Amino acid sequence: MSTRSFFLFAAALAVALTCASASAGDYKGPIKLVPSQDGATLYSLNMDSKDVSVINVAEAKIERTIALPGTPNDMCFSPDEKTLYVGYGDYQGKICAIDVATGQVTGEGVVGHTPCGLCLSPTDPNLMFASLRFEAKIAKISIPDFKVLAKYPALHEPCDAVITKDGKSYYAANFLPIDRSDGANVAAEITCLDTETGETKNIRLPNGSSSMHHICLSPDGKYVYTTAILARYQLPTTQVERGWMNTNGFSIIDADKREFVNTVLLDDVDSGAANPWPIAVTPDNKTIVVGIAGTHELSLVDSEKTHAKLADLPKDAEEAKEKGLTSVTTADQVPQQLAFLVGLKKRVKLYSRTMKAKGPRSLAIIGDKVYAGMYFTDNIMVVDLKARTPKAKEFVKLGPEPELDSARRGELAWHDATLCFQNWQSCASCHPDARSDALNWDLLNDGMGNPKNAKGMLYSIDLPPAMWHGVRVNAEKAIRTGFQFILFANATEETAVDIENYIKELRQLPSPYLVDGKLSEKAERGKKVFENEKYACTQCHTGEYFTDQQLHDVGSRADYDHRDDFDTPTLREIWRTPPYMHDGRYVNLKDVFTDGAHGDVLGDVGEMTDEEADDLVEYLLSL
């Protein structure tokens, strides 16, 4: 080949490669994988492209794509697999029925805010249960008219769910805790709905549990498993080694007894398994598979040996003493044991220099193979579980290789624990969805021994200063120091700028308290209370973002605080971020005014009537 021919060939190749890459913002974003009953077809629910990829498993080929009417949250199939049900949208979210053969929407109905955790009743295909994430409710829905028959209480952002084989128990994973965060025990819980009686039972996970992304039922129906972060929020953030700040694992629930069994850590002693996300169990019940979204891995856990090991442990120190056992791990100590699964688990890397695969947020198991949907790289990886040394390889690309723009790179960096020393955590570990994990943290940027609630990042770039005491001049500075003093690593300037752009693009969700997108009559009355000069709310909470961006002493100093003044937080999306005040001392917003007399320093909140307080809270929760 002549030199001129070579350069022409190289130029043509470069053009071809450019055309084969997705343009910036053209992403798929797989969030759920569901195999057909015969294992011949794999369906990928793609959030960003708002569609479903229908994949021929034998040929590793996308046969077609089913367009969706909105941004999806979850999907499930009818028993005959002829109908696909998709929950989509946020405020006034809908569930639709789609004919799998034609891809046409055959029916839909409004059910509530952000429907997810879709489960058809195994005993009645005309009955569905769904979690309404931002209403904190579980909906009972008739099919095919999508009429909401009843709503039952969940706790805090129920984001995923499973239903038992007899259809009697619907387990919803509440994403975050709903406790006052200055207490001794703060933990997320699973809500179990008795589908026959409508009664609910909340099953509490160990202290520090949060970010419960996913839940699954073992094929034999005996156990419910859920992934979560186990935060050591009561320790000062002086290091990350050995899970000092965050550990990562899965919890086990006895499905028949509706009782907590234990929580097992997936980390190694010197290497975190940050941000566990999807979880599944092989058809023979022998292997628990967890997608480690922060480190781009799979964790393969020997289920039989793990359960056997747990069953042999004394319940606690008292039982161990009664049995004459000394220096033995007890069941209540397991959530603290980084070495508990030594010899019982394998970690399989999904990403390498030659294999682009980041962000496993969905799993499907077909026979001896596990498929992982990679959110940031728009591909599906496959691992043969029967291989002597299981390794990952690419199964199928869901679209052209995505070209990440700055904000998308920032979103990836926000969730990427490989940027942290020893991979223990990511920014998302304490700020899931760039909001709050509902826990207090004792960060060292304002001294030791004064823990405060993690703040959300929404509008933080626009609202300097940063941190509760304004110790960082702005969010940009806080991002860079956060890498240094929380992740114990250095971020490149490009990464820091990318994260800034990710935060700038955060979207405020509409409040579930709105009525047809507008303030209710009660909230309108509350707005007048808020603007009443007697209560002085607008002296600090002013402007578009309801903050003057100043530090004030409002009489909220607690026993462990070192200062009296605190940054005025934005009230935007306050409905989403309980508990309230800088130390999370109030779960209920009304208590801020009735018990805390918040605003009494500048106004006269003590004269506020009970009705006015209710109206004010309704307004604030509608912002």
Q: Please indicate, yes or no, whether residues 498 and 547 belong to a single structural domain of this protein.
A: no
**Inter-residue contact 595 to 587 (CB < 8 Å):** no
Report if residue 158 sits inside a domain: yes
CATH number at residue 73: 2.130.10.10
Report if residue 85 sits inside a domain: yes
Domain hosting 467: range is 408-504
Which one has a higher pLDDT value, 504 or 319? 504
Q: Please indicate, yes or no, whether residues 488 and 555 belong to a single structural domain of this protein.
A: no
| C-alpha span between 23 and 43 (Å, rounded) | 24
3 state DSSP class of 549: coil
pLDDT in tens, 147-158: 999 999 999 999
Residues in the chain: 623
Segment 76-92 mean pLDDT: 97
pLDDT in tens, 492-509: 999 999 999 999 999 999
pTM metric for this prediction:
0.94
Q: Please indicate, yes or no, whether residues 526 and 491 belong to a single structural domain of this protein.
A: no
pLDDT in tens, 178-224: 999 999 999 999 999 999 999 999 999 999 999 999 999 999 999 99
pLDDT, position 576: 96
Choose the final residue of a domain: 441, 471, 504.
504
Q: At CA 314, angle to CA 313 and CA 320, rounded to 5? A: 135
Tokens of 131: 């979690």
Number of domains in the chain: 3
Q: Please indicate, yes or no, whether residues 414 and 526 belong to a single structural domain of this protein.
A: no
Q: Please indicate, yes or no, whether residues 535 and 500 belong to a single structural domain of this protein.
A: no
pLDDT in tens, 96-127: 999 999 999 999 999 999 999 999 999 999 99
Please provide the average confidence, as pLDDT, over all residues in the chain.
93
pLDDT, position 25: 63
Q: Please indicate, yes or no, whether residues 490 and 421 belong to a single structural domain of this protein.
A: yes
Share of the chain above pLDDT 90, in %: 89
Lowest-pLDDT choice from 88-102, 242-256, 326-340, 360-374: 326-340
Q: Please indicate, yes or no, whether residues 497 and 531 belong to a single structural domain of this protein.
A: no
- Amino acid symbol at 529: V
Lowest-pLDDT choice from 92-106, 314-328, 503-517: 314-328
Report if residue 452 sits inside a domain: yes
| C-alpha span between 264 and 274 (Å, rounded) | 14
- Amino acid symbol at 100: V
Report if residue 204 sits inside a domain: no
Choose the final residue of a domain: 470, 504, 538.
504
Segment 295-321 mean pLDDT: 93
Q: Which helix (H) or strand (E) holds 16?
A: helix 3-20
Segment 441-453 mean pLDDT: 93
Report if residue 99 sits inside a domain: yes
| C-alpha span between 529 and 541 (Å, rounded) | 13
pLDDT, position 603: 86
Segment 309-317 mean pLDDT: 90
pLDDT, position 215: 98
Segment 539-558 mean pLDDT: 94
Segment 551-577 mean pLDDT: 94
Quick one: pLDDT band at residue 324, thresholds 50, 70, 90?
confident
- Amino acid symbol at 519: L
Name the nearest CA neighbour of 440 among 62, 186, 264, 619. 186
Q: Please indicate, yes or no, whether residues 38 and 158 belong to a single structural domain of this protein.
A: yes
Q: Please indicate, yes or no, whether residues 498 and 540 belong to a single structural domain of this protein.
A: no
Name the nearest CA neighbour of 51 among 10, 84, 18. 84
- Cα dihedral 327, 422, 506, 230, rounded to 10, equals 0
Report if residue 178 sits inside a domain: no
Name the nearest CA neighbour of 244 among 253, 233, 258, 260. 233
Q: Please indicate, yes or no, whether residues 531 and 498 belong to a single structural domain of this protein.
A: no
Q: Which helix (H) or strand (E) holds 591?
A: helix 589-594
Give the strand pairing for 401-402 and 21-22. Answer: parallel
Report if residue 240 sits inside a domain: no
Quick one: pLDDT band at residue 522, thresholds 50, 70, 90?
very high
Segment 475-497 mean pLDDT: 95
> According to DSSP H, which parts of 256-370 are helical?
303-311, 317-322
Q: Please indicate, yes or no, whether residues 498 and 534 belong to a single structural domain of this protein.
A: no
Is the pLDDT at 553 greater than 90? The verdict is yes
Which one has a higher pLDDT value, 459 or 324? 459
Tokens of 431: 């700020």
Quick one: pLDDT band at residue 2, thresholds 50, 70, 90?
very low
Choose the final residue of a domain: 479, 504, 529.
504
CATH number at residue 496: 1.10.760.10
Is the pLDDT at 18 greater than 80? The verdict is no
Report if residue 413 sits inside a domain: yes
Q: Please indicate, yes or no, whether residues 95 and 138 belong to a single structural domain of this protein.
A: yes
Chain-centroid distance of CA 531 in Å reads 35
Tokens of 584: 């999370």
Site of tokens 């350069």: 7
Three-class secondary structure assignment of 513-534 = CCECCECCHHHHHHHHHHHCCC
| C-alpha span between 87 and 137 (Å, rounded) | 15
- Give the sign of the dihedral formed by CA 45, CA 46, CA 50, CA 51: negative
Give the strand pairing for 209-210 and 200-204. Answer: unpaired
